[in-house]
Structure 1
Amino acid sequence: MRTRLAALPWVCWVAVGLIAAQLLVRAVVAFGGYFYWDDLILIGRAGTHPLLSPSYLFDDHDGHVMPGAYLVAGALTKLWPLQWAAPAASLVVLQALSSCALLRVLWVVLGWRPVLLVPLTFALWSPLGLPAFAWWAAALNSLPLCAALSWVCADAILLVRTGNRRYAYTATAACLGALLFFEKAAVIPFVAFAVTALLSYVRGATLTAAASGVWRAGSRMWTALLAVTVAWIGVYLAVVNQKRWSFDLEMTGDLLLRSITHGIVPSLAGGPWSWARWAPASPWALPGPLVMALGWLVLAGLLALSLARKDRLAPVWLAAAGYALACQVPIYLMRSSAFTALELAQTLRYLADLVVVLAILGAVGLSAPNRESSRWLNASPRRGAAVALLATAFTASSLYSTGTFLSCWRDDPARGYLQNALRDLARAHGDSDAPLLDQEVDPLVLQRVVYPENLASHLFALVHDRPEFASTTTELRMLTNTGTVVDAQVTWVRSLVAGPVPRCGYLVQQDRPATLTLDGPLLPADWTAEINYLANVDGAMTLSLTDGPDVRVRVRPGLNRAFVRLPGAGHNVSARADTAALSVCIAVGPVGYLAPR
């Protein structure tokens, strides 16, 4: 073993060192981050569904079908609920798999030539892949996709090169695995075929001969990959609501242009250098004129230098440009409308796979034959020093962008809210056995658009040291917008008017339901009612707004008070006794929102 390790070329050790350095930096980013938006949706669903239930694994998550991501997120959440260390560690592990798979495909294409370090350095440090890494929910999509892209491309090349069928099996398994995490993995067969055919082309075959030869040599693999992809597309279409597709072509074009000018091009110079964020949105790239100009300069230099140095390179450049557009179009068609902000394209979270494809195509381009007129670019100490200097400058620029991103990413309202809530829920549990009324969490953490995952009962479902969440309670407490638990009161938005029965108000019995009149109408919302009552025995009654679900309320004998969460709308509250021999007198009381007392 030691002999084998000692025999590895220095390029291999440098590549491993670069990956180790990248993982160290990414670990700082991962552990410096926290749960954000979709992460909390996954956590809420994991807390309210069995881990292996189809309704959980095959949920239409904002246009995504991702049972693999749900499975990983659910397993980690059930083991360590709302503990960021586990998701952060999973980010580093997935990044390690992706980076190692990329090194493998670069080695398959280039061998241990020093030039391998050029596309590897770009892929490891490019800020294009950073937003999709830091956001756990996005990383559960993008990192398995990136790993599978590299793996399948390498297997396709090796299958064509050696004819060994095992590469067909492993490629198909990798593609299927990626599809379980992200439907965008449907691009893998086409990318792998294009990469393998282009590699054959740059090494001397015509485009037609390269394509036909690659198809014949790997026909079983291509057929299997296409079959798996088509089957998964069928699953996707069966699960996802197709009405979300907008087909706003004008906005899609604007988003594509913005992603190029403010995302892809500045990243070629290690940009964007600066980021902006308005909570609860995720950070977006905010490149200045200098880094944008540098990006265009780098692009022009790469294009001119590569065409001057290498022959048969035009199809490789066209493939890179085509994928840069194609990898974004489906997302923007689903997300774009007249109300879509162009900053969506600057979040860069849809471009992680582009980094991998550009690196692989870069390796293919470096395999092309040199032009006779480019001997002045042959290997020399001067060329080596220039490449090392440019790589160092790119890495430093990218690290600066990484640092500014992390500063922006840490400015997250969810961190303080959840940490306060976990602490105060544990304290509230120790102080009283009374349940907490269920409520929506702070809108900067999760908004009503993701209902019911924005309810505290969903978000904290798997937390053990907390009070129960219920629709009724005898002790009114609430979570504030900072996550602290405080005593609460019901605001007087509306009130129950005095009932018709003297010295009773509203008399509610099993055979005598009552209609509790409000002093004005209530619009649709989650209302809280303070029910002041006198009951003769232990029992239960049911309350509901005119347009709202039934809520069962436990009552105790004597003069008591209950606080009831009543979703819905209407002009009155219906009440009926569910227990035989139960008589309840209900007095006036407020109906409104919760507020700290």
Structure 2
Amino acid sequence: MTATATRPAPTLVLPKTVSIAAAVVAAIPFLIHAIATFSGYFGQDDFVILYRAGSSGPFDADYLFQDYSGHIAPGMFLLAWFVTALAPLNYPIAVIPALLMQAGALILLWRLLVRVFKHRWGLLLPYALYAFSPLILFSTMWWAYSVQLFPLLLTMFGAFNTHLTYLRTREPKHIVTTLLWTAAGMAFYEKAALFLPLLLGFTLLLGERAPWRVWLAHGALLAGFVALYAGLTVSRIKEGLPRVEVILEFLRRSVFDVFLPGLFGGPWADPATGAAISTPALGLRIAAAAIAVAVIVGGIVVGGRKAVLAWSLLGAYVVVDLALVIITRLPEIGPLIGNDPRYTADAVPITVLCGAFAYSSLRLKRPAAGLLIVVLGASATFSYLWLAPGLQFEKAKQYVATAQAALKGNPSMVLYDTPVPDQIMSNWFFEDGKASRVIGLLPGPPKFDQPAENLYLLDETGTPQKITNVRDPVVGRPGPYEKCGYAVGYDTATIPLSGWSNGRRLLRMEYYTSGKGPVTIRLGKTTYEIQLTDGLHVLYLVVDDSFNRVDINRATQVDPMCVVDVRIGLPVT
């Protein structure tokens, strides 16, 4: 009898103590951010993106590759379609994918740090700087930005990890994987175009070299993306730069008022308009700048040439970040845009990686690392919770809930589409800044701008208010028949107006008839087919044309009708 060889039981590999500590460092801000995010709601661009998703398909190229304020983001729009198809206007469902990508980015960043620098307690400090960053956590409470930034960070760390694997194994398949990560990042945020110089700098910091075919492959991908982007978007680059003093003020706000304080646990300030942050106290800004200078100088003392290269890479990235704003957004909005952390939040992970390289030769002991992490984490959490209400969009949440309750009580209600308050959607959205974009995906769906006898509009709280008349009207001339006005039958009746009606207005018509049925109304170049009810009634009709008369007929076998009053103006509740 032959003895059978037995395999030894597999060894259970336990995570290093430092990795367990890293999991705690990541979990605390992640859970705080998740709780605060779930307490928020959609706001501003969110409603436009989701509304367009609701009327598009997953293979609609015009939808996926639309020019959205200078962004080409088919990945984001595909995700918006998915969450809308799954649960329209359901905020918790919409934010779950973003939170999953946030968690994935945290995991991949720690994996990258450990693979490059081994398990060190000192790594927890730069990792905490990323995980607790108020610049990232606050700005990503805005759903539309979270599904840009978190995919960018996830794919950035994925690309770094697979490129590192290639450098160590030289297996060509890892070049392909890195390119796939990069392409995925480009599908969500055009800043993924910067992966190529980042990977090149990363390679130099590692003291490695990659053959030209690697960079040619990345260059070809970048060239293809740039060609696609240029072909699908209208250039946002403005003619001529802003004045020097405007640029300097913008740089001061971006770097010294927001970015540096945010890196070191700040900004210890209130939220401002939109996603902006109020300017911290002068002493706090000076302290943050002094710490930044000390960190840079200390890194050079400790790391020498490698630190110089690391800080140069970070400086170049920040310069590109800010230059993009200067040539596109700054001329439109002004230097106040510097207070918006969305334009520098993506530089936080670059700071973390470059700082880790600059101090790679320093061995920070566990007590020192722990103390610094506690101080940084407590300060950053305090700042984040102070800022968080600014992007929870409580006004929008209440508006939608109020409208939804009213529509549930009266499903047949027809609404006149009106702009919503600026806190919900800014007035620069123009036609997209209306109630139909905000609540148009609610169950029903809500009816907007349809002919109706009873028409309502939503006030600033989302409460429907009944329209009772129109103001500043042009009116129909008196009809030829006493008590009937204009008799409308098979032949067209023409009702001349007291003047021209131009643009979007509301027509109010009083009529009576003994026979219900269709009527045709022609206003300028637009024709409406409407079903009338027998008896004495009022018809409200939303019009958007230029005309000075109303042509109306009943070219079917129904009784004539009498039109006794016509007026066209703006709604009055």
- Quote how far apart the aligned CAs of 1:167 are: 1.7
User: In the superposition, relative to structure 1, how do residues 467 and 53 fare at CA in structure 2: closer, same or farther (>3 Å)?
Assistant: same
Correspondence 1:19-58 to 2 at 5 A:
19-58=26-65
Range with greater deviation from structure 2 (481-490 or 502-511): 502-511
- The residue correspondences of 1:51-90 to structure 2 (distance < 5 A) are 51-90=58-97
The yes-or-no answer on 1:356 pairing with 2:338 is no
Residue 391 (structure 1) aligns with: 373
Distance 1:421 1:537 in 2: 32
* Residue 13 (str. 1) matches residue 20 (str. 2): yes
- Given that 2:440 and 2:446 are in contact with CA atoms closer than 8 Å, whether structure 1 keeps it comes out as no
Contact 2:488–2:554 at 8 Å: present in 1 too? no
- Relative to structure 1, the CA distance from residue 50 to residue 378 in structure 2 (aligned partners, 3 Å threshold; closer, same or farther) is closer
Q: 1:130 aligns to what SS in structure 2? A: helix
**How far apart are 1:178 and its partner, in Å?**
0.9
Unaligned runs of 5+ in 1: 201-209, 371-376
Could you tell me which of 304, 312, 321 is aligned with 1:327? 321
Cα offset, 1:301, TM superposition: 1.6
Partner of residue 257, structure 1:
252
Q: Is the 8 A contact 1:542 1:578 kept in 2?
A: no
CA deviations over 1:334-373 (Å, ceiling 9, x no partner): 2121x52322111101222211111111222233xx5xxx
Choose which of 269, 276, 280 in structure 2 pairs with 1:274. Answer: 269
> How far off is 1:264 after superposition?
1.4
For residues 108 and 443 of structure 2, what CA distance do their matches in structure 1 show? 39
Equivalent in the alignment of 2:553: 577
Of 486-495 and 356-365, the range deviating more from structure 2 = 486-495
What is the distance in 1 between the residues matched to 2:480 and 2:147?
A: 61
Residues 134 and 266 of structure 2 are in contact (CA less than 8 Å); yes or no, is this contact kept in structure 1?
A: yes
Are positions 1:485 and 2:454 aligned together? Answer: no
Matched to 2:310, the amino acid is V
Deviation string for 1:307-355 (max 9, x for gaps)?
Answer: 2222212121111111112123223422121x52322111101222211
What is the rounded CA distance, in whole Å, between the counterparts of 2:424 and 2:488 in structure 1? 41
The structure-2 alpha-carbon separation of the partners of 1:192 and 1:521, relative to structure 1 and needing over 3 Å to count, comes to same
CA distance in structure 1 between the partners assigned to 2:421 and 2:39 by the alignment? 22
Partner residue in 2 for 1:407:
389
Secondary structure of the corresponding residue to residue 28 of structure 2: helix
Asked whether the 8 Å contact 2:41–2:393 carries over to 1, the reply is: no
Structure 1 counterpart of 2:473, from 479, 490, 494: 494
| Structure 1 residue aligned with 2:4 | none
The corresponding residue for 2:398 is: 416
Task: Report the Cα offset of residue 237 of structure 1.
Answer: 1.3
Change (3 A) 1:549 1:47: farther
The offset of 1:551, in angstroms, is: 4.1
Q: Which residue of 2 aligns with 1:287?
A: 280
Q: Which residue of 2 aligns with 1:134?
A: 141
- Deviation at 1:267? 1.8
Q: Which residue does the alignment assign to 2:197?
A: 190
- Structure 2 SS opposite 1:65: coil
Structure 2: which 5+ runs fail to align? 1-8
Distance in 2 (alpha carbons) for counterparts of 1:476 and 1:580: 27
Contact kept in structure 2, 1:276 and 1:286, CA below 8 Å: no
Residue in structure 1 matching 2:485, options 505, 529, 540:
505
Deviations 1:475-510 (A, max 9, x none): 222222111123222232214233342233345556
Q: Secondary structure at the match of 2:467?
A: strand
Which of 287, 293, 304 pairs up with 2:297? Answer: 304
1:344 and 2:324 correspond: no
Match of 1:427 in 2: 409
The alpha-carbon distance between structure 1 residues 137 and 439, as it changes in their structure 2 partners (threshold 3 A), is: same
Query: 210, 220, 229: which is aligned to 1:227?
Result: 220
What is the Cα deviation at residue 574 of structure 1?
3.0
Distance 1:406 1:132, change over 3 A: closer
Instruction: Give the Cα separation in 1 of the matches to 2:201 and 2:472.
Output: 64
Q: Is 1:587 the equivalent of 2:564?
A: yes
CA deviation string 1:148-184 (max 9, x = no partner): 1112122222212221223212111111111111112
Q: 2: CA distance between counterparts of 1:472 and 1:391?
A: 62
Equivalent residue, structure 1, for 2:429: 450
Contact 1:149 1:356 in 2 (8 A): no
Instruction: Give 2:231's aligned residue.
Output: 238
- Structure 1 residue 23 displacement after superposition: 1.4
Question: Alignment partner of 1:112: what SS?
Answer: coil
CA deviation vs aligned residue, 1:399-428 (integer Å, no higher than 9, x gap): 111011113333642111111111111112
CA 1:442 to 1:573, structure 2 compared with 1: closer, same or farther past 3 Å?
farther
Check 1:116–1:386 CA distance in 2 against 1; reply closer, same or farther (3 A cut). Answer: closer
Judge conservation of contact 1:284–1:343 (CA < 8 Å) in 2. Answer: no
**Of 442, 447, 452, which residue of structure 2 is paired with 1:468?**
447
Matching residue of 1:153:
160
Secondary structure of the residue aligned to 1:143 is helix
Identity across aligned pairs (percent)?
A: 22
The SS at the match of 1:352 is coil
Once the two structures are overlaid, the 10-residue window that deviates more, 188-197 or 245-254, is 245-254
Amino acid at match of 2:569: G
Mapped to 2, the partners of 1:407 and 1:442 lie a distance apart of: 18
The structure-2 alpha-carbon separation of the partners of 1:70 and 1:115, relative to structure 1 and needing over 3 Å to count, comes to: same
Deviation at 1:45, TM superposition (A): 0.7
CA contact (8 A) 1:47 1:458 kept: no
Matched residues in 2 for 1:258 and 1:467: separation?
A: 43
In structure 2, the residue matched to 1:514 is 494
Within 2, Cα distance between the matches of 1:404 and 1:67?
34
SS at match of 2:71: coil
Q: CA deviation at 1:534?
A: 3.3
Note if contact 2:321-2:344 (Cα within 8 Å) is conserved in structure 1: yes
Note the C-alpha offset of 1:578.
6.5
The residue that corresponds to 1:204 in the other structure is none
Question: 2: distance between equivalents of 1:99 and 1:378?
Answer: 23
User: SS in structure 2 opposite 1:574?
Assistant: strand
Conservation of the 8 A alpha-carbon contact between 1:269 and 1:294: no
Deviates more, 1:287-296 or 1:494-503: 494-503
Aligned CA distance change for structure 1 residues 521 and 470 (closer, same or farther; 3 Å)? closer
Equivalent residue letter for 1:347:
D
Aligned residue for 2:3?
Answer: none
